[in-house]
Amino acid sequence: MNNKKFVRILAIVLAFIMLLSVAMIAISALVNSSASANSRETRNQINELRGQKRELERQKREVQSRINAIEFERLTELDKKRVLDERIVLTGQEIDNINATIDYFNLLIREKEYEVFNAQRRENEQLERYRSRVRNMEQNGFITYLEIIFDSTSFSDMLARIDFVTDIMRSDESAYNNLVIARNATEARKVELEETKEELDDEKLLLQQMEAELLEQLEEAEAIILKMEQDIEESRRLHAQVKADEDEVQAEINRQQRVLATQEAAERAAAAARERERQRQAAANGGSTVVGSGKLMWPVSGTITSGFGVRRHPVFGDMRMHNGIDIGAPHGTRVVAADAGTVLLSTYNSSYGNYVVIDHGNGMTTLYAHFSTRSVSRGDTVQRGQQVGLIGSTGVSTGPHLHFEVSVNGTRVNPRLHLS
């Protein structure tokens, strides 16, 4: 009788353990599924970035083919510089792409480490269950499977006990199989983690190569401007071209300000019935104009390498006007809007390279030139401190820096009078 009672208790305990194991496996599977989904999404982001990189490589090959062509040598020096600037911009975008890919690989590694942690935890849990089962068998070894069967009171009771013993044996086999599966899963996650780390190392190596390539391209592009400055006739033509470009840009700024003022007047008339705050808002190219504070923050941290005003050229001795200030900073450094406003221009020309002009209202505009990459488009509204581009050396430039201009009512003024 005592044996029968013990068998029943053992059956209940084993059934509870089996249910608990199933529940734990289900919970672990749910956690693992969520972690795997995160890593799959991160991997998708990496694959998308790699697709973008392939497109950048294709564009750069097209630019390089133009550089290698015989027609390239027939271009003017400034036109050559423009083509080289295109290649530099694409290389910079490739570097940005690789940096973003590295960020996602670091995230993927953290997710893979979490998957390894969960897999190891599940393996340890399965191992502990298996050890517990073995200990129970050792401790209760005086009741064998045969004893359970032979203690039956009838033929039907014997069949039921045979089924019970079979369930116990299946449970033992299942515990062992689950342990093997968990151990294999742990090893698989560890392999994936190591493969991901190797991919990250490959991306870092590629980044070093691309940064070295960018430096070579910058030197090649800057050599053109240096060569022009060292040749008297070329230098004069270069200076004339820069002066013409500056005048053209200022004229375009003034024209765009007039267009913007007209749009603002039309919007104010249409919004006369609105509250005062909304009356100050105005449409500019389908968006709302933003009026700045009138006090400008420094668009980038760095050393002023050239100030505002007339200076004598160190080689040719002629007097030349510098309409802004040059702030030296490493290639790729973020440049921010000096104040809130509306983007009037975001484009390229042979002198300024990639440049952006922002209207801050009240007749004030700021110009940011020689960007490697522009971050805003014409018509965008920007806030004070918002990124508008990255430091570069496009256009007439012999080193990475920001050329920064301030105009008030159509006249360029010394930026330092308004910077705080």
Write out pLDDT tens, residues 386-420.
999 999 999 988 889 999 999 999 899 999 999 98
pLDDT exceeds cutoff 70 at 252: yes
Tracing tokens 């697709």 back to the chain, one arrives at: 51
* 240 plus 221 within the same structural domain: no
Residue ranges making up the domain that contains 307:
232-417
What's the whole-model pTM score? 0.66
Q: Domain ends where: 228, 259, 285? A: 228
* 169 plus 23 within the same structural domain: yes
* 223 plus 236 within the same structural domain: no
* 258 plus 207 within the same structural domain: no
- Picking from 364, 359, 354, 360, the residue whose alpha carbon sits closest to that of residue 412 is 364
**333-373 residue pLDDT tens:** 999 999 999 999 999 988 899 999 999 988 899 999 999 99
In this prediction, residue 152 carries a pLDDT of 55
In this prediction, residue 142 carries a pLDDT of 43
* 186 plus 198 within the same structural domain: yes
Alpha-carbon distance of 411 to 363, in angstroms, equals 10
* 6 plus 147 within the same structural domain: yes
* 205 plus 292 within the same structural domain: no
pLDDT exceeds cutoff 50 at 279: no
Contacts of 245 (CB under 8 A, 6+ apart): 349, 350, 351, 352
Residue 24 — very low, low, confident or very high, per pLDDT cuts 50/70/90? low
Number of domains in the chain: 2
In this prediction, residue 260 carries a pLDDT of 79
* 170 plus 293 within the same structural domain: no
Instruction: Label each residue of 244-285 as H, E or C.
Output: HHHHHHHHHHHHHHHHHHHHHHHHHHHCCCCCHHHHCCCEEC
* 188 plus 245 within the same structural domain: no
Q: Which carries the bigger pLDDT value, residue 288 or residue 41?
A: 41
Contacts of 161 (CB under 8 A, 6+ apart): 7, 148, 149, 151, 152
* 187 plus 310 within the same structural domain: no
The amino acid present at 230, given as its one-letter code, is Q
CATH of the domain at 384: 2.70.70.10
pLDDT exceeds cutoff 90 at 272: no
Q: Domain ends where: 228, 244, 266? A: 228
* 219 plus 322 within the same structural domain: no
Q: Domain ends where: 228, 257, 281? A: 228
* 317 plus 186 within the same structural domain: no
